[in-house]
Homo-oligomer: A and B are copies of this chain.
Amino acid sequence: MVQLVAGDLNLVNAVILDRMQSQIPLIPELAGHLIAGGGKRMRPMLTLASARLLGYSGNRHHRLAAAVEFIHTATLLHDDVVDGSDLRRGKRTANLIWGNPASVLVGDFLFSRSFELMVEDGSLKVLKILSNASAVIAEGEVNQLTAARRIDIGEERYLDIIGAKTAALFAAACRIAAVVAERPEAEEAALDAYGRNLGIAFQLVDDAIDYVSDAGTMGKDAGDDFREGKATLPVILAYARGSAEDRVFWKAAMEGHRASDEDFAHAVSLIRSSHAVDDTLARARHYGQRAIDALGGFAGGAAKDAMVEAVEFAVARAY
């Protein structure tokens, strides 16, 4: 997908760099740290690839892809404040460097700026899709916050959370391409389904990696979720399948009473013996396959191939 949209992505990056400017120097400084700092631009790439799939030949999608990336960046800034994170994409987080207040306010600025970009485009339908996605993301983040440090949330609520906090923006990023290309509702829905399932698969793999990788390969600290008491699917499965003794451990761990390196090593061994990572990845393949099948109605070609490959790559990341 990177090759397919490389030219378009340069134009999107130009919009991003232009529109993150402000007379207040701290804004481009802080925003640039995150925006220039090795992000994969996955969401804007989804808008660009979807537009390519539909044979769209205009340029409205460049500005809208930048709006999508601004929403994502605002979310990351606020996430890192909420989680108290100190490492993102292998770099120190903005909140660590400039403090929580600056991260909150620059996030607000980028969020407002994303709506300004949408208003310039002028499609109320796009505005509706992305304002709704933004509200759903915030709801998902609050849902995740109220689930923090609880071992008993279960797979369904976990799926609600990642469906909102991650998959909603993937879905919207794809769907808006069908709006600018003026395609029928069925194609909008198909692209929405592609993005949504890809987003769920992507987040499942991300959550699995936290129990198999290290900071060098994933750009964040391995065991972060564990130490923050986030009951992601690997933990939910290991808990559901564990002995009474294991469950005592998991409960204490999620509550923050088992945060040492030895505790994390024990967690990884429990997850391995219960096949919880393997099965989290199997779930990811399920959603990945649904994403691929959602593209069934579109004609084959370079764009479709790239979108299928993007799913396969996302699902295979953990191996």
Contact = CB atoms under 8 A, between A and B. Distances in A.
Contacts of A119: 124, 127-128, 131
A1 interface: no
A5 to B, nearest CB: 27
Number of copies: 2
B135 A113 contact: yes
Interface in A72-125: 74-75, 78, 81-83, 100-102, 104-106, 108-109, 111-113, 115-116, 118-119, 122, 124
A26 interface: yes
A74 B111 CA distance: 12
A73 to B, nearest CB: 13
Interface stretch (A40-48, A139-147, A248-256): A139-147
A134 interface: yes
A10 interface: no
A240 interface: no
Nearest to A81: B104
Nearest to A106: B142
Contacts of A26: 142, 145-146
Nearest to A110: B138
Contact of A104 (B78, B113, B124): B78
Interface in A211-248: none
A109 B24 contact: no
Secondary structure type dominating chain A contacts: helix
A22 interface: yes
Nearest to A161: B24
A164 to B, nearest CB: 9
Nearest to A83: B101
Contacts of A306: none
A78 B138 contact: no
A23 interface: yes
Nearest to A125: B119
A27 interface: yes
Contacts of A83: 101
B146 A108 contact: no
B142 A109 contact: yes
Contacts of A116: 128, 131-132, 135
Contact of A78 (B82, B108, B142): B108
Given A112-B132, A112-B137, A127-B127, 4 more contacts: A26-B146, A82-B104, A104-B104, A109-B142
- For the complex of A and B, the 6 pairs showing the least CB-CB separation, nearest first, are A109-B138, A112-B135, A112-B134, A115-B131, A82-B101, A108-B138
Interface of A: 22-27, 74-75, 78, 81-83, 100-102, 104-106, 108-109, 111-113, 115-116, 118-119, 122, 124, 127-128, 131-132, 134-135, 137-139, 141-143, 145-146
11 contacts: A25-B146, A27-B142, A81-B100, A102-B145, A106-B142, A108-B111, A108-B138, A115-B134, A119-B128, A119-B131, A127-B127
